[in-house]
Amino acid sequence: MTTSIPPERLKAFYVQMARIRRAEEAIVALYPEQEIRCPTHLAIGQEAVAVGVCQALRDGDTVLSGHRCHAHYLAKGGSTRGMFAELYGKATGCCGGKGGSMHLASPETGMLGASAIVAGTVPMAVGAALAATLRASDDVSVAFFGDAAVEQGVMHESLAFAALRSLPVVFVCENNLYATLTPISQRQVSADIWPRAAAHGLAAVGVDGNDVVAVYEAGAAAVARARRGEGPTFIEAKTYRWREHVGPNFDTDVGSRTQAELDGWMARDPVASLARTLEARGILTATERASIDAVLEAEVADAVSFAKASPFPEPAMLRTDVD
Amino acid sequence: MRELKYREAIDEATRQAMAKDDRIFVLGVGVDDAKGIFGTTRGPALEFGGKRVLETPLSEATLTGVAIGAALRGLHPLLVHARNDFLMLTMDQLVNNAAKWRYMSGGTMRVPFTIRAIIGRGWGQAAQHSQSLQAMFAHVPGLQVVMPATPADAKGLLMTALTTETPVVCLEHRWLYERSGPVGEEPYYTPLGHAAVVHEGRDVTVAGLSLMVGEALEAAKALAAEGISLEVVDLRTARPLDSETVCASVVKTGRLVIADTGWRSFGVSAELAARVGEQCFGELRAPIGRVALPDVPTPASSALEKIYYPGPAEIAAAVRATLSGRGRGPAPETAPNAAARGKEFSGPF
Ligand SMILES: Cc1ncc(C[n+]2csc(CCOP(=O)(O)OP(=O)(O)O)c2C)c(N)n1
Ligand SMILES: [Mg+2]
């Protein structure tokens, strides 16, 4: 780990990642109550990518995401209450209950939303970058997507156009090696994605997506380039989803991946390993960490109570926001 | 007769068609994974192996073009999508190539190509995973659109699609997958464009598609208690649309309610109403009623989902309205509904 990152920021990494973990684990615990009534794609195990990249952003920068969007929403500063209320389908949700788990948005923090159509928001992120250029602003746009998004034509057209125009966009591929049950080996010629992205004529790198510092460094470099007007970057962050594709359970019984593979990745828990490193370096003591965890626990508990106590949208809301 | 679930009927149709015709091969996202599109492609994958059931990348647009090319070279692809929403990615290949190649080539070439896609509903799947987009495909000359309501038709219509030399889009409602019904064991072929009278009655005709046929049959039961006799017509295919069978029924009843799984405006219900107006206006004793989705995207919230989807109660209300003098006139602003309808769908997705 490089020491150039100030301790305060390293602590912030921990807070952000632990918040996502706590929120997602709360969903795991609550889902069986059947009050969260929407398909829910958890990011447990992948927290370092969202946090590493979003920590390199500033106000005014924007992100777009896909079906697995909780971590991106929270890492960009979306309210925990707004997220849980949305999951519970309540009027106080970040999208008034109309979007649900797969469409979290908080424009006030720069989270412009998420599409459940794989790769659907990638060209939109390019458009956000084009807008920055046309408005002569140095805001940076980020697209988060999974490994399967790279299989869509729109991805390659987006990379090519962004490269052609030197647009200030960072493409962040969370390569968790699977699309639902199908391993990447059945879908792509290689498990390494970034070299193929590079062929479009933009900067491209691969990083360890379970190492928040590595992700941050790659993200910060990409964001700085974009802000200087030097064009787009593609970051492939290899990581792993612990839970089933959609829902709160584990899926190693289905037969598409082994318990041993999952165990290997769980041993590389991005949250716990950051905590260990910070403790070893004296940046975050066990006591400090416990108090952060307690605050986050309370924050998530508050968000859940808020969501549960909130009203459902009025029937008239069905027909608003259409045309 | 032996009973099968809807999804089992699809599996059986696919296997029987593949056994009879080695031009047929299956492709799509998840067709060869452990769950095999809710069990419908698992059997074919196990029986015929990886040369006839091809797992694919998430490249729906390209794979549609790939399928068309393979069809031009003597194969019959069956491309499967877990949601019909994903077909929006494939519209160029579907509309501009698959539907046009035969015509543009002056009939010298054909595109035998079957597409299966599922209509999702419920548990907050929201705006991009629970659309019912039959009207988008049925609008296009050169495409046929089938929407089986029963396990028997799920098999018979798919078998026919797989022997048709032009593109056919099969839209399957997810809520029908676990329903059982009698299904013939031997291969059989249900012709496209033939609606079926599935419940005889004398007062009002309800013409429904897909899931709405069952909803109409439930409404028929409830209304029978009020002394109202419904005739229920299962349209079975959106294109060709068999308005003759509907008109024949209207000749008998003088009243028509159309129940569609899609949006109200510019959809199958609009087309059928127009045709009935053209073909048997004089037989109508009341304005045609329509039961369809309100013209808004699907909301995620369970509270809004409940009022979004019309069901037997709304069909019954529309029926009563056609019986009360001059019909109900303009559509009510929101579906009143929300009556509990058995166990709520909660996946798998
Ligand atoms: C265009 C499209 N095709 C198929 C699907 C169904 N689907 C939803 S998520 C998913 C897997 C996506 O994998 P990946 O992009 O790697 O993201 P991950 O779920 O692994 O985070 C699939 C096949 C979809 N939503 N959109
Ligand atoms: Mg993936």
Minimal-distance CA residue of chain B relative to A321: B296
In a domain, A317, yes or no: no
Digitized pLDDT (tens) for each residue of chain A, 323 residues in all: 556 899 999 999 999 999 999 999 999 999 999 999 999 999 999 999 999 999 999 999 999 999 999 999 999 999 999 999 999 999 999 999 999 999 999 999 999 999 999 999 999 999 999 999 999 999 999 999 999 999 999 999 999 999 999 999 999 999 999 999 999 999 999 999 999 999 999 999 999 999 999 999 999 999 999 999 999 999 999 999 999 999 999 999 999 999 999 999 999 999 999 999 999 999 999 999 999 999 999 999 999 999 999 999 999 999 999 99
Domains in chain B and their CATH numbers?
3-182 (3.40.50.970), 196-329 (3.40.50.920)
SS3 of residue A57 by DSSP: coil
- Which residues have any ligand 1 atom within 6 Å of their CB? A 67-68, 116-118, 146-149, 176, 178-180, 245; B 29, 58, 60, 82, 86, 89
Q: Which ligand 1 atom lies nearest to the CA of residue A118?
A: 26
What is the rounded distance in angstroms from the CA atom of residue A123 to the CA atom of residue B205? Answer: 48
- Residue A233, helix vs strand vs coil: strand
Selecting among B76, B129, B173, B199, the annotated active-site residue is B129
Asked whether residue A94 is domain-assigned, the answer is no
Residues with Cβ within 8 Å of residue A208, at least 6 apart in sequence? A214, A215, A237, A238
Tens-place pLDDT, residues B309-326: 999 999 999 999 999 964
The total number of structural domains that make up chain A: 1
Q: Does residue A315 belong to any structural domain of this protein?
A: no
User: Which 3 state secondary structure label does DSSP give A96?
Assistant: coil
B65 class by beta-carbon count within 10 Å (0-12 exposed, 13-18 middle, 19+ buried): middle
Amino acid identity of A223? Answer: V
List, in order, residues 6 or more apart from A125 with CB less than 8 Å away.
Answer: A62, A63, A64, A141, A142, A143, A158, A169, A171
Please confirm whether the linkage preceding B240 is cis (ω < 30° from 0): yes
Pairs of residues, one from chain A and one from chain B, whose beta carbons lie less than 8 Å apart: 136
Strand-pair partners of A173: A145, A236
User: What is the B284 CA–ligand 2 centroid distance (Å)?
Assistant: 55
Please compute, for residue B214, the number of CA atoms within 13 A of its CA located in the half-sphere on the CB side.
15
CATH number, domain of A268, equals: 3.40.50.970
Does B129 participate in catalysis according to the annotation? yes
Q: Is A90 in contact with A317 (CB distance < 8 Å)? A: no
Q: Which amino acid is at B328?
A: R
Tokens standing for residue B46: 């196990």
Tokens of A223: 């964001």
Q: Which residue of B has its CA nearest to A257?
A: B34
Confidence of residue B308 (pLDDT cuts 50, 70, 90): very high
Residue A232 lies in a domain: yes
Closest CB to A180: pick one of B33, B88, B333: B33
Contact A39 B334 (CB under 8 A): no
Residue A118 lies in a domain: yes
- The token pair at A210 is 């379970």
> Domain of A20?
7-26+44-79+109-283
CA distance B76 to A46: 41
Q: B295–A317: do the CB atoms touch at under 8 Å?
A: no
Please identify among residues 4-33 of chain A the ones whose CB lies closer than 8 Å to any CB of chain B: none
Contact across the interface for B301 and A313, Cβ inside 8 Å: yes
Residue whose C-alpha is closest to residue B332's, from B349, B297, B312, B307: B307
Sign of the CA dihedral running B121, B62, B18, B165 = positive
Select from B58, B300, B346 the Cβ nearest to the Cβ of A99: B300
Is residue A137 in a domain? yes
Q: Using alpha carbons, list the distances in angstroms from residue A129 to A59, A137, A197, A229, B338.
A: 15, 10, 18, 11, 44
Q: Scanning the structure block, which residue is given the tokens 């795991």?
A: A28
Q: Do the interacting molecules here have an ipTM over 0.90?
A: yes
Which residue in the set B60, B346, B349 is minimally distant from A34, CB to CB? B346
If you count DSSP H runs as helices and E runs as strands, how many of each does chain A have, helices first?
11, 8
Q: Would you say residue A252 lies in a domain?
A: yes
pLDDT tens track for B265-280: 999 999 999 999 999 9
The answer for A 184-243 residues in CB contact with B (under 8 A) is: 186-188
> In sequence order, what E strands does chain B have?
3-5, 24-28, 53-55, 76-81, 114-119, 144-146, 168-173, 180-182, 196-199, 204-208, 230-234, 237-239, 256-263, 289-293
Contact B126 A100 (CB under 8 A): yes
Determine contact, residues B84/B131, Cβ cutoff 8 Å: yes
Beta bridge partners, B182, equal: B3
Name the residue among B81, B82, B98, B77 with its Cα closest to residue B18. Answer: B77
Q: How many CB atoms lie within 10 A of CB A291?
A: 10
Give a yes or no: residue A245 inside a domain. Answer: yes
Q: Is B319 left (phi over 0), alpha (psi -120 to 50) or beta?
A: alpha
Degrees, nearest 5: CA angle A237-A241-A247? 140
A118 alpha carbon – ligand 1 mean position (Å): 5
Under the banding of pLDDT at 50, 70 and 90, the label for residue B335 is very low
Angle formed at CA B93 by CA B90 and CA B99, multiple of 5 degrees: 120
Report the atom number in ligand 1 closest to the C-alpha of A245.
19
Confidence of residue B344 (pLDDT cuts 50, 70, 90): confident
Is B125 in Cβ contact with A182 (below 8 Å)?
no
From CA A178, how far away is CA A261, in angstroms rounded? Answer: 12
pLDDT score recorded for residue A158: 98
